[in-house]
A and B are shown apart, each in its own frame.
Chain A
Amino acid sequence: MTSEEWQIVWFTAWVSALSTLVITPFGLALAWALARRDWPGKSIIETIISLPLVMPPVATGLILLKLFGRRGAIGGFLHDKLDFDIIFTWRAVLLALSVMSLPLLIRSARIAFEEVNPRLEQIARTLGAGNWRVFFTITVPLAVRGIVAGMILAFARALGEFGATIMIAGNIPGKTSTISLAIFQNVQLGEDANAFRLLGVSVILAFAAVWSSEWLLRKTRHRQ
């Protein structure tokens, strides 16, 4: 493996981990709201959240490109007022990975929250706990298996993301090149050996992610 290839592996790993961390607070809050609350327009929100799961990733990438490009609603504001670019930078990779993996986290976490007996939350309130305390001391610990499973799933999805990433981040060597993008480019260039090396690393990473999720779930199983 060359140093460029290690850089690609390292970049893919940390930006996937970062995207998982970034989506977790927002994803858990949304999952909780979907599990415990009802409001007009709830089904619309549910549908929008599921879209990246169902649409072709490049289609999601296209939407992100239009929104966050320099001429887009959000990207335009960022570029003109704050001199801040997202498209074709590592931040676009973070954005693509976050958007594509968020629905997976929300799905798992929502089911986990729904399985927490609301009665336990109510009893906690009678004991004087406010909403935040109930959430962190009762709801989350009891839902932790589903939450962790969701986070691992999100991380694995982020590791393998391609369609949306190539749309908004391009494949800029040293800046936005991820394992998936590099494999694709190597195949296009006829550099099969490189592609297979990266494929090998990608398999090892996926294996490690799934294995540690199983280990974590085994650990939390004992606690309950």
Chain B
Amino acid sequence: MKLHQLKSVFVSSLILLVVVGAHAAEITVFAAVSLTDSLKQITAAYEEESGDKIIFNFGASSTLARQIEEGAPADIFFSADEAKMDGLEKKDLIDATTRKSRLGNSLVVVVAADSVLQIQSASDLTNGSVQKVALADPKAVPAGIYAKSWLEKQQVWLMIGPKVVPTENVRAALAAVESGNVDAGVVYKTDANISKKVKVAYEVPVADAPVISYSMAFVKESKQSDAAKKFLNYLDSKEAGDIFKKFGFSLRN
């Protein structure tokens, strides 16, 4: 290469670097805790490609929604149910045009890996050998609300309600089962997949369970409109979809 060509390549690379560097954004995503592992993997690839940085706040969707209502700095909200998203939409806190129902999931009953309990139906949970059942708080957390809805439909909620140990979020319910301090727990299938310390005792048939729908949207108060919407689109892409499926989620669109 001639010297002046070298120089222009150098200068334009510098400009490109500066431009890209100047546009490297930091996006905060509030996401349901059941999405922890899948989202982390999806983001690894995205951060490389885009140069943007994604910061996560994982938690129970109910807690996250509350935090957003109180003004917490989220750019994207990814909830484990539609209800929490509805709540925010009603308060005009999310951009409804960006809202998408993205994922489905299913429920399972898990027991500790070394447990000898046999659960083959919802009513097996009413047995005397099951003294404590961990659920994400059925008053608020989507996973718990889904579980309660299933148990009500099976007409065993009245007997099981008193055995319930409500936990902060669905991963806490999983941890309770892993620790052996409860006899069983109802969590998402995707949660059971990532834990070696529990085994699935019973898979709730789709027909018995309520419809599980994860919803994502752009938060209006965000200051990173472009970067956030770009990431939202990426979450909607095929690459992301493949990773979600790998972890056990189903795609709703």
Tell me, yes or no, whether A binds B: yes
Among B48-56, B97-105, B150-158, B163-171, the stretch in contact with A: B163-171
**In the complex, chain A residues whose CB is within 8 Å of the CB of B176:** 88
Contact, CB under 8 Å: B166 / A70 = no
Q: Do B180 and A69 touch (CB < 8 A)?
A: yes
Interface residues of A in 177-203 (CB under 8 A from B): 185, 187-190
Q: Is the CB of A188 within 8 A of B63?
A: yes
What chain B residues lie within 8 Å of A174 (beta carbons)?
162
Nearest 3 pairs of A and B residues by beta carbon: A70-B180, A87-B181, A71-B180
For window 144-194 of B, CB contacts with A under 8 Å fall at: 162, 164-167, 176, 179-182
Contact A172 to B66, CB < 8 A, known contacts A70-B181, A87-B181: no
A170 interface contact, C-beta 8 A: yes
A 159-175 binary contact with B (CB < 8 Å = 1; else 0): 00000000000111110
* A85 sits at the interface (CB 8 A): yes
Contact B62–A88 (Cβ < 8 Å)? no
Q: Are B131 and A85 in contact (CB under 8 A)?
A: yes
In angstroms, Cα B66 to Cα A86, docked, is 32
Interface residue tally of chain B, by bracket? 10 to 19
A-chain residues with CB within 8 Å of residue B132 when the two chains form the complex: 85, 88
From A86, which residue of chain B is reached at the shortest CB distance?
A: B181
Instruction: Give B241 Cβ to nearest chain A Cβ, in Å.
Output: 32
Range class of the A interface residue count: 10 to 19
Query: What residues of chain B have their CB less than 8 Å away from a CB belonging to chain A?
Result: 62-63, 66, 69, 131-132, 137, 139-140, 162, 164-167, 176, 179-182
With A88-B165, A189-B62 known, 8 other A-B pairs at CB within 8 A are A65-B179, A69-B179, A69-B181, A85-B181, A170-B166, A171-B137, A185-B137, A188-B66
The answer on a CB contact under 8 Å between A188 and B62 is yes
User: A69: which B residues are within 8 A, CB to CB?
Assistant: 179-181
Of B66, B166, B167, the contact of A173 (CB 8 Å cutoff): B166
Asked whether B69 lies within 8 Å of A190 as measured between CB atoms, the reply is yes
Q: A54 to B69, alpha carbons, bound, how many Å?
A: 34
A85 to B182, CA, bound (A): 10
Can you give 25 contacting A-B residue pairs, CB < 8 Å? Answer: A65-B179, A69-B180, A70-B181, A71-B179, A85-B131, A87-B181, A88-B132, A88-B176, A88-B182, A170-B167, A171-B137, A171-B166, A172-B164, A172-B165, A172-B166, A173-B166, A174-B162, A185-B137, A187-B66, A188-B63, A188-B66, A188-B140, A189-B139, A189-B140, A190-B66
Q: Which residue of B lies closest to A68 (CB)?
A: B181
Bound-state Cα–Cα, A174 to B167, Å: 15
Residues of A within 8 A of B180 (CB): 69-71
Interface residues of A in 72-112 (CB under 8 A from B): 85, 87-88
Task: Give Cα distance in the complex from A71 to B178, angstroms.
Answer: 10
**Beta-carbon nearest neighbor of A70 in chain B:** B180
How near does chain A come to B79, taking the closest CB pair, in angstroms?
15
Chain B nearest Cβ from A173, distance in angstroms? 7
Bound: A171/B63 CA distance, A: 16
Residue of B nearest to A190 (CB): B66
CB contacts (< 8 Å) of A172 on chain B: these are 164-166
**Could you tell me which residues of chain A, from 98 to 140, have a CB within 8 Å of some CB in chain B?**
none
